[in-house]
Amino acid sequence: MGLGYILANRRYETRLKPIFISLLFVVISLLWFYFSDQFIVGNTHSIHLFLDYSIDTDFVYAIIASLGLYFLINNNNNTLNGVIKSLAYHKEQLDIIVTAVQHADESILITDLEGQLKWANDKYYEVTGFTREESIDKPIPYAINKEQNEQFYKDMESQVQNGIPWKGILVNKKKNGQLYHESLSFAPVKNSDGQIYRYITVFRDITVEHKNRELIKHSLKEKEALLTEIHHRVKNNLATVTGLIDLQLIQTDEVPLINLLSNIQVRIKSIALVHEKLYQDYLFSEIRLDTYLEDLTKNIDDIFTNLGLPVYMNKNISCLLDIEPILIDMNKAVPFGLLATELITNAYKHAFPNNQKGHIHITLKKQNDDMYYFKVKDNGVGIVDDSLLDQPHTTGFQLIQTLSNQLQAKWQVDLKNGFGVTFKFDFKHFRKPNRTETQNQLKLL
């Protein structure tokens, strides 16, 4: 194979010169026939052709035999040249593969069915510190610990014996006893009969990456703890403010002041709820609007129920939520929470006078790829004079306009069978949580 490779690379071809060999065969044959005939009975082998011309039959035989020999050698030459070129090509490809494997950044090993090392590239010896003499025809060393016990390796081998490659991260030991992390792939090699006769192992030393990953995890945990503490303190500080408002509400009987303070209190609570959701859900940059609005409506109902005013004490108002699991960016969560608070509290205050029973329907859904809509609609008394909408002088209406501008929302009023406002958001601060985030939320709940 080596000779064929050299010949092919030098653009030589095996040529046995069939024409010269055939002529030489004729000469040798004639000499042989001549001397053998002379020795035995004399040259009597001849045939008569036309015009009484005769020719020696030995010469005919020699010519026919030499022609057969010529075609045989020429055909074999072509076949042999094809084989040599094929061997040379495959030898060249094999050398390329061996060179690539030998200089790979990963350690590559070939073992027999008993786990004894048959071949390894230079990287393996560099990483582990073993020499070839210490490794070839010997079992590959492996580390035993709590996770990588004997059963662990038996399960790994059983999987590969069934023709399924194994991939994972292991802790192994070098020649000097130093432990290191390796990203390993373990796969079977089958022969032409489909039988496994070798194993190939490829691994990479990821000790540095593993340490860096652990440092990043530790740093992230510290930052999460810090963010949790910040949001928790903000929420507590806002709770302190609402507690002070509660004290003030207890000390006053003036209905206008109670309404004013309750408005302030419910707005502060909507902001506090944003920070509470941020640290409870461990998202820190987004909050789930479905759970947020559920808690917000409960807070609003509790505030108005506990105000002590006869106008709210006997009200039977229910909030019906039709909200998809949607995440909103933290920067937009506070204005959205204030907007929802303003709309719901307005419904509590004005939609159901004289202890009228009713409900407030709150909807938040994705309308298309770039559009979400948010609607708060009650079935209360509505607005008798719709001209008031053209001249909104109340703080609530001014706040709604300001917040809708911050959210880049277009809004329209619905005066049929009550009062409602629909907002359409044409921005990408909303998104649907993926399956992992949804599962994590369910665990927290």
Q: What is the CATH number of the domain that holds 215?
A: 3.30.565.10
pLDDT of 100 reads 77
Would you state the structure tokens that stand for residue 181, as one six-digit string?
């992390």
Contact 123, 113 (CB under 8 A): no
Same domain, 250 and 265: yes
For 336, counting Cβ atoms within 10 Å of its Cβ (0-12 exposed, 13-18 middle, 19+ buried), the class is: buried
CA 396 to chain centre: 47
CA atoms within 13 A on the CB side of 306: 13
Residues 327, 431 contacting (CB under 8 angstroms)? yes
Q: What distances in angstroms separate CA 23 from CA 18, 43, 78, 305, one per listed residue?
A: 9, 22, 20, 122
> Minimal CA–CA distance to 180: which of 111, 110, 126, 133?
126
314 and 389 in a single domain? The answer is yes
User: CA 114 to CA 31: how far, in whole Å?
Assistant: 65
> Which of 102, 130, 163 is where one domain is finished?
102
Answer with the one of 205, 223, 239 that is the final residue of a domain.
205
139: which DSSP letter? B
Distance CA 67, CA 227 (A): 96
b/e map 101-137, b = 16+ CB within 10 Å: beeeebbbbebeeeeebeebbebbbebbebeeeebee
User: How many independent structural domains does the chain possess?
Assistant: 3
Instruction: For the beta carbon of residue 283, count every other beta carbon within 10 angstroms.
Output: 18
Residue-range definition of the domain harbouring residue 273: 211-444
- Tokens standing for 31? 């000499």
Q: Phi and psi at residue 176, in whole multiples of 5°?
A: -80, 5
Residues 257 and 312 placed together within one structural domain of the fold: yes
Q: Note the pLDDT of residue 308.
A: 61
Q: Are residues 91 and 197 in the same domain?
A: no
Residue listed under structure tokens 């005013």: 309
Per-residue pLDDT of the chain (445 residues; tens, 9 = 90+): 444 444 444 444 445 565 666 566 666 665 665 555 554 444 444 444 444 444 455 556 666 666 666 666 666 666 767 777 777 777 888 778 777 788 888 899 999 988 899 999 989 999 999 998 999 999 888 888 888 888 888 899 889 988 899 999 999 989 998 999 999 999 999 888 888 989 999 999 998 888 888 888 877 777 767 767 776 777 788 888 888 888 887 888 887 888 788 878 888 888 888 777 766 665 667 888 888 888 888 888 887 777 666 656 556 888 899 988 888 887 888 888 888 888 888 888 888 887 788 899 999 988 876 788 899 999 988 876 555 555 555 666 788 888 888 888 888 888 888 889 999 886 566 777 765 555 554 444 4
Q: Are residues 239 and 340 in the same domain?
A: yes
253 and 361 part of one domain: yes
- Token reading at 366: 């994705």
| Interatomic CA distance for residues 394 and 384, integer angstroms | 17
Which pLDDT does position 194 carry in this prediction? 86
Sign of the Cα pseudo-torsion (384, 376, 374, 302, in order)? positive
- Length of the chain (residues): 445
Residues 6+ apart with CB under 8 A from 251: none
Residues 188, 227: one domain?
Answer: no
Task: Give residues with Cβ within 8 angstroms of 281, minimum separation 6.
Answer: 287, 288, 291, 441, 444
Backbone angles phi, psi at 410, to 5 degrees: -100, 135
Sign of CA dihedral 312, 316, 317, 321: positive
Domain boundary among 205, 220, 255: 205
- CATH of residue 119's domain is 3.30.450.20
User: Partners of 425 in the beta sheet?
Assistant: 372, 409
Residues 74 and 119 in one domain: no
Query: Do 195 and 228 sit in the same domain of this protein?
Result: no
Q: Tell me the DSSP string of 89-116.
A: HHHHHHHHHHHHHHT-SSEEEEE-TT-B
Same domain, 193 and 228: no
25 and 59, same domain (yes or no)? yes
User: Could you tell me if 121 and 108 are in contact, meaning their C-beta atoms sit under 8 angstroms apart?
Assistant: yes
Model-level pTM greater than 0.85? no
Question: Do 221 and 344 belong together in one domain?
Answer: yes
Q: According to the model, what pLDDT value does residue 384 have? A: 61
